[in-house]
């Protein structure tokens, strides 16, 4: 196709997750057809976001304000900090609408393979935050992967001097999970952590 | 989530085809993480497209030029005009890289249900184009749906006075098609239009 600008938009869209060249083409067609209702608003909000999104200087969250909306929300407890690897994990915890404390976004995990050490993560500011009097608990909500757990262990050492309780997310059978289909690791962990009925 | 600008982008993306709320969130995360490589270029090309895309005054194609790149391409034959319902159909024919004539985009089909008559389609300019001496053939490439075929029949009547051959796309078994899985209509059409081996 010789439409260079349109081709360029299709190429960019096809780089996004869950979009291939074919669905990107469909997306761009939809945009072109709904120029006023969709393309123009998308352009405007993208521009606003590009201009305003910055990293929160307290927790590492990305937001259009600094400190971010969560850090500056006075209704949220200062006593609990939930440490997550990534923005996506923060969003996931926010979606379950249960947690009312603050966050700390590490920006990844320690990884020997990818040559990522503690200095590349947002760890030092966490240690400083943990020293504050009002902080009582730190929840290490890194992923249940090798790197996530390694990072969590490293953090418990770094936070040893702070006067805080350190906790982690419970492991066990997921909602709706059938024993027959669970991996051995999960089932073993659920058995070890069994609770009185 | 309280990030209003980010929420707005997610909402807009989730309106696009093949993206739901969940994948839209993933898309926006990717954009935020790759701000320089992806979000900024997407913003720039969207802006350029919004400013420049217009309807070709000859064929009804959408392009950043008027007349569009296809109409102004001197290497393409003026003798054949391929009539399609929609931009998507033009793109599909261009992708098969076989057709070297010009196009005419109707902008839809006649439809009694949707109350769409000939005056709402780009038909009058087609009749004028068909009268030109250099035009020898008009291919009616509307979809093989009830509305598409109705529109094609209407067009043959309207083009009766023009000195052109009117053709339509062949119907038959699709590439890789298995007889057992084909609908009766397609199989019947393929049988009727059988060719010498």
B33 vs A16: CA distance, rounded Å: 11
Summarize pLDDT for A128-150 with one digit per residue, the tens.
Answer: 999 999 999 999 999 989 999 99
**pLDDT confidence of residue B3:** 60
Q: B54 has which bridge partners?
A: B63
Which A positions 12-41 lie with beta carbon below 8 A of chain B?
Answer: 12-13, 15-19, 23, 25-27, 29-33, 35, 38-41
Q: Would you list the DSSP string of A38-51? A: IIHHHHHHHHHHHH
> Is the pLDDT confidence value at B4 over 80?
no
- pLDDT higher at A125 or A185: A125
> Is the pLDDT confidence value at B8 over 50?
yes
Residue A3 banded pLDDT, cuts 50, 70, 90: low
Nearest to B167 by CA among B137, B126, B123, B143: B137
CATH class of A62-168: alpha beta
Question: A97 vs chain B: nearest CA distance in angstroms?
Answer: 9
- State the span(s) of chain A assigned CATH 3.40.1360.10: 62-168
Collect all residues of chain A within an 8 Å Cβ-Cβ radius of residue B84: none
A40-52 and B40-52 are packed helices; what angle lies between their axes, rounded to 10 degrees? 150
- Tell me whether residues A29 and B87 touch, CB distance under 8 A: yes
Question: A78 vs chain B: nearest CA distance in angstroms?
Answer: 18
Collect all residues of chain A within an 8 Å Cβ-Cβ radius of residue B18: 18-19, 23, 26-27
Mutate to test the interface with B, among A8, A26, A45, A61 (most CBs of B within 10 A): A45
Both tokens of residue B179? 């007889």
B10 vs A54: CA distance, rounded Å: 17
> Is the pLDDT confidence value at A1 over 50?
no
Pairing of strands A137-140, B137-140: unpaired
As a dihedral over the C-alpha atoms of residue B38, residue B40, residue B46, residue B50, rounded to 10 degrees, the angle is 180
Both tokens of residue A59? 């927790």
- State the span(s) of chain B assigned CATH 1.10.8.420: 5-52
Summarize pLDDT for A84-121 with one digit per residue, the tens.
Answer: 999 989 999 998 889 999 999 999 999 988 889 999 99
Question: Taking the alpha carbons of A102, A104, A105, A111 in that order, is the dihedral positive or negative?
Answer: negative
Residue B57 banded pLDDT, cuts 50, 70, 90: very high
- Tell me whether residues B6 and A32 touch, CB distance under 8 A: no
B138 vs B83: CA distance, rounded Å: 7
Out of B16, B52, B94, the one facing A30 most closely (by C-beta) is: B16
Percent composition of chain A: helix, strand, coil (DSSP 3-state, to 5): 45, 10, 45
**Alpha helix positions (H), chain A:** 4-13, 21-33, 40-52, 87-95, 124-130, 146-158, 184-192
Note whether B63 and B54 are within 8 A (CB).
yes
Residue A82 banded pLDDT, cuts 50, 70, 90: very high
**pLDDT confidence of residue A155:** 96
- Tell me whether residues A87 and B29 touch, CB distance under 8 A: yes
Is the model's pTM score more than 0.90? no
- Tell me whether residues A5 and B52 touch, CB distance under 8 A: yes
As a dihedral over the C-alpha atoms of residue A69, residue A72, residue A75, residue A80, rounded to 10 degrees, the angle is 100
* ipTM of the complex in this document: 0.77
- The architecture of the domain spanning B5-52 is Orthogonal Bundle (1.10)
Summarize pLDDT for A18-53 with one digit per residue, the tens.
Answer: 899 889 999 999 998 888 999 999 999 999 999 988
């Amino acid at each position: 196709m010789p439409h260079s600008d349109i081709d360029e938009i299709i190429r960019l869209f096809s780089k996004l997750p869950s979009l291939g060249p074919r669905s990107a083409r469909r997306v761009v067609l939809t945009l072109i057809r709904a120029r006023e209702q969709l393309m123009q608003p998308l352009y405007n909000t993208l521009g606003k976001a590009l201009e305003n999104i910055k990293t929160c200087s307290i927790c590492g969250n990305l937001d259009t304000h600094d400190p971010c909306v969560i850090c500056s929300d006075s209704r949220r407890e200062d006593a609990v900090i939930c440490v997550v690897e990534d923005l996506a994990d923060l969003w996931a915890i926010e979606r379950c609408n249960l947690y009312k404390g603050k966050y700390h976004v590490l920006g990844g995990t320690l990884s020997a393979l990818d040559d990522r050490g503690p200095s590349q993560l947002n760890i030092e500011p966490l240690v400083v935050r943990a020293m504050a009097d009002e902080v009582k608990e730190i929840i290490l909500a890194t992923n249940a992967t090798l790197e996530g757990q390694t990072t969590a262990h490293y953090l418990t050492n770094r936070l040893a001097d702070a006067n805080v309780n350190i906790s982690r997310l419970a492991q066990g059978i997921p909602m709706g999970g059938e024993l027959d289909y669970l991996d051995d690791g999960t089932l073993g962990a659920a058995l070890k952590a069994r609770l009185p009925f």
